[in-house]
A and B are shown apart, each in its own frame.
Chain A
Amino acid sequence: MAADLNWAIGGEAGDGIDSTGKIFAQALSRAGRHVFTSKDFASRIRGGYTAYKIRTSVDEVQSVVDRLDILVALTQRTIDENLDELHDGSAIIYDGERSWDAEIPEEMKGIDVPLKSLAEDAGGAIMRNIVALGAACEITGFDVEYLDESLEKRFGGKGTQIVENNKEAARLGQEYVQEHYDVGDLGYDMETTDNDYVLLNGNEAIGMGAIAAGCRFYAGYPITPATSIMEYLTGRIEEYGGHVVQAEDELSAINMTLGAARSGARSMTATSGAGIDLMTETFGLVATSETPMVICDVMRSGPSTGMPTKQEQGDLNMALYGGHGEIPRFVVAPTSITECFWKTIEAFNLAEKYNTPVFLVSDLAMSVTEQTFPPEAFDMDAVEIDRGKLVDDEEVQEWLDSQGRFRAHAATEDGVSPRSIPGTTDGAHMSTGLEHDELGRRTEEQEIRVQQVDKRNRKVETAKNEEEWEYREFGNPDAENLVISWGSNEGALVEALEYLEDEGVDVRVISVPYIFPRPDLTDEIEAAEETIVVECNATGQFADVIEHDVLTRVKRINKYTGVRFKADELAEEITTKLTEEVPAQ
């Protein structure tokens, strides 16, 4: 892989850290460089430490690493928080005119730029971060004109004067460094390419996937880190005849979604763990009324309010087992940002093919991370829509009983019943959370109860056989060491393979996007000498499931600090874990 550069800007919440970082990421993307971003942030509007980090290379990057080359520090805490990642020769851009005395570690290069004064020269102190970006361009040998493009995109709507002032601010920063420092010896040289990339995060990919899939209705209640799906859809879904509604709570959100779904709209709600708790009330109803809908859980650190702005994959058991009674459902967990797009589309198709709720499980790390992709990675022509057994005025006739009543819960061979929506002549029927007969009418007759339970479970069996529940695979397929992961750890694992290869450790990586139904990994685990399951939680919820499937013990790597896995860290953990004793049977 070509050399990567790790850049960050940090300060207090409210300092414009996020938008500055995004502007720089966009500029790098415009220059045909790959970008992978991450954020350190707290659950507050102002104050506290926050940072936006960018890893960039001309090759694909899909993980963060424990190394920081250039840091724009607006506060001393920014430096202190990142001491572990800074190294000999790291450059730290700071404003020496500000009240704090920056303590720059000796082995690092302090680049003192009067950010505020220069910004004022360009038209306003508010642009001090842009001055810092200009300085960063100079240090890295990155053409400031790419930054211009990004500034135009960001500020274009605010008028040419604002754009020009920002461009000027960037140039003042660049020139200042040019005049006062010799940065050549730092050795950064940012290559560019002619490639066109798009830059987006996992939640944007989910929102875009939803629109592509024909989702027209979204109800939600704001919650970190799911809100940005709602924000993405707002203002866009209307262009396609859809609507976003902010409900009074998650109880309402899921029930509005249910209503829209029952009236024939492809519908979705998204939330995070605390909201899923409330929505659990309605899971059973969605399943027994056989309503197709997508419920998205962008996981964050729990339990209770936990660490709302931190990463965790702690809701797997909730997605698999949440709710009283036995609830048929599908659980899909995209493993990358592009997969957030494709799996969302698949989730809508699965929901309608099997009249079943589909849990789309993502996580905080993926929701805030922006990554570059060639636009073809989201090829809209490849999107397929399958509405399952949705019947029209004619087809409905095949499903009427002898008295002309629609058999909405007909106990078919494959377990999938026809679905009629309001407005379909002769399709009127009742659905309920009570156990019911084929017509949807309440019953407690044993025979019918068993018929309906079996029918609902049969749908899942049909899906198991009809659909492809494949895993994604990386590394050496014949390696004796097997590492299994689910959800967003894939990128870090794929990059960890390079470190492991350097160490001479041969590894096969299996990344599983389907939690239920899921691929049977018995053969793969039996073929391996060692199996490790990697996940961002303390107890190893996926490892438990795998052990249960395969009836064997696996080793586990668990991280529950609230921070996602990093590639180099994972490589080290895997190497260590391989030398440990196999846990007792």
Chain B
Amino acid sequence: MSSDVRFTDFKSDKQPTWCPGCGDFGTMNGMMKALAETGNDPDNTFVVAGIGCSGKIGTYMHSYALHGVHGRALPVGQGVKMARPDIEVMVAGGDGDGYSIGAGHFVHAVRRNVDMTYVVMDNRIYGLTKGQASPTSRSDFETSTTPEGPKQPPVNPLALALASGASFVAQSFASDALRHQEIVQKAIEHDGFGFVNVFSPCVTFNDVDTYDYFRDSLVDLQEDEDHDPNDYEAAKEVILDSEKEYQGVMYQNENSVPYNEQHGVTEDMSEIPDGAPEDAMDLVREFY
């Protein structure tokens, strides 16, 4: 495909079945725009989607894509990038997919620092199963399975990422389209694992973490001239601040060396010879 890719090229002809007003519309639009803006096209892009409302994104976008098993989107994305360093990889999932069933993979994906982008559509609720507590739900958030609230603190995904050795930690808000796109774009451009937690409100089942709530409470780090994303200590302070909700790039390690580079994994693994490799008999001779 030529370089004049428009973001609509990343759109499939399937109409989303998300509830009208769902944050996922804005999240997806920003992702598509960021992909187009960074010079990618659908034929060199691989999108991996998890399970849940967010998981439907693979169907609504047009690219090479896999809609996989619940919680395992990150391993799939890493496999793609390791085998095909030439391909742009974007993984999208929800808070349940990433911080509950897939939490183990999240920690290790962050550690590996594969050059890919991970967008979590965080609505602090299980929407597709019709409203149960998620790992990011507030401790007093009443749901059908937690009538008195989960009574446990929500996971702080940004802190989890930072503690796992993240090289890029950011947060955005689906409704702030321009900022969301900019932040995802920075994650794509980052040399390593670009992690963006996106506040993507569920208008049907979450009446606490609403558009209004985020509009009123969100502090944009861009407006704080003192915040330097390369400053680990400053990032820590913002991320662990339980009083406020932030958007922006909290942390970016300038010296990040992505996995493929670290391990010398640079070749397109899809290309192989018609028979055994030329010097393969050497492998046999090793056993003399």
Contact = CB atoms under 8 A, between A and B. Distances in A.
Given A259-B75, A265-B269, 18 more contacts: A198-B288, A208-B283, A211-B283, A236-B283, A240-B277, A247-B108, A255-B76, A259-B80, A261-B79, A262-B80, A263-B64, A263-B270, A281-B72, A285-B69, A375-B288, A428-B64, A430-B67, A442-B59
A433 to B, nearest CB: 6
A237 to B, nearest CB: 10
A264 B269 contact: yes
Given A251-B72, A259-B77, A212 B272 contact: no
A261 B79 CA distance: 8
Contacts of A289: 66
A241 B76 contact: no
Contact of B82 (A197, A240, A243, A441): A243
Contact of B67 (A265, A381, A431): A431
A382 to B, nearest CB: 9
Given A208-B284, A259-B83, A424 B43 contact: yes
| Pairs of residues from A and B, 7 with the lowest C-beta to C-beta distance, nearest first | A259-B79, A264-B270, A214-B272, A255-B75, A265-B269, A198-B287, A256-B79
Interface in A417-459: 421-434, 440-442
A245 B69 contact: no
Contacts of B284: 198, 208, 375, 378, 380
Contacts of B267: 216, 241
Interface in A346-382: 375, 378, 380-381
Given A199-B287, A380-B280, A432-B67, A423 B84 contact: yes
B46 interface: yes
Contacts of A385: 272-275
A535 B104 CA distance: 38
Interface string B42-76: 11111010000000001100111111110110111
A383 interface: yes
A441 B269 contact: no
B58 A381 contact: no
B140 interface: no
B76 A256 contact: yes
Contacts of A242: 269
B83 A267 contact: yes
B72 A422 contact: no
Contact of A383 (B44, B108, B280, B288): B280
Interface in B1-45: 1, 12-14, 42-45
B265 interface: yes
B79 A263 contact: yes
Given A198-B287, A236-B283, A378-B284, A216 B269 contact: yes
B87 interface: yes
A257 B65 CA distance: 15
B281 A380 contact: yes
B78 interface: yes
Contacts of A107: none
Contacts of B48: 259
B244 interface: no
A439 to B, nearest CB: 9
B83 A265 contact: yes
Interface in B75-114: 75-84, 86-87, 104-105, 107-108
Nearest to A440: B65
B130 interface: no
A378 B84 CA distance: 30
Interface in A212-267: 212-214, 216-217, 219, 236, 238, 240-243, 245, 247-249, 251-253, 255-267
B82 A282 contact: no
B283 A263 contact: no
B58 A258 contact: no
B275 A384 contact: yes
Contacts of A247: 75, 108
A196 interface: yes
Interface of A: 29-30, 196-200, 204, 208, 211-214, 216-217, 219, 236, 238, 240-243, 245, 247-249, 251-253, 255-267, 281-282, 285, 289, 375, 378, 380-381, 383-385, 403, 421-434, 440-442
A259 B44 contact: no
A428 B43 contact: yes
Contacts of A431: 65-67
11 contacts: A211-B283, A247-B108, A252-B108, A259-B83, A260-B80, A260-B82, A265-B83, A265-B84, A267-B83, A423-B44, A426-B43
Contact of A263 (B46, B58, B62): B46
A429 B80 contact: no
Contact of A260 (B59, B108, B269): B269
B83 A216 contact: yes
A258 B285 contact: no
A131 B1 CA distance: 69
Nearest to A249: B104
B108 A243 contact: no
Contacts of B288: 29-30, 196-199, 375
B12 A422 contact: no
Nearest to B84: A263
B275 A381 contact: yes
Contacts of A265: 83-84, 269-270
A30 B287 CA distance: 10
Contacts of A281: 69, 72
A262 B12 CA distance: 20
Contact of A212 (B69, B71, B276): B276
A214 B269 CA distance: 9
Contacts of A422: 43-46, 64, 80, 84, 87
A266 B272 contact: yes
Nearest to B76: A259
A423 B43 contact: yes
A424 B270 CA distance: 11
Contacts of B67: 430-434, 442
A432 B14 CA distance: 15
A236 B280 CA distance: 11
Given A211-B283, A431-B65, A442-B59, A256 B84 contact: no
A249 B45 CA distance: 27
Nearest to A253: B75
Contacts of B66: 258-259, 262, 289, 430-432
B285 A375 contact: yes
A290 to B, nearest CB: 11
A336 to B, nearest CB: 15
Contacts of A427: 43, 64
B263 A243 contact: yes
Contacts of A29: 288
B69 A255 contact: yes
Kindly name the residue among B48, B69, B108 whose own CB sees the greatest number of chain A CB atoms within 10 A: B69
A487 B216 CA distance: 66
Nearest to A252: B75
A29 B76 CA distance: 43
A261 B66 CA distance: 12
A19 to B, nearest CB: 16
A213 B283 CA distance: 13
Contacts of A426: 43
Contact of B83 (A238, A263, A432): A263
Given A281-B69, A429-B65, A431-B65, A217 B83 contact: yes
A29 B63 CA distance: 54
A89 to B, nearest CB: 33
B285 A198 contact: yes
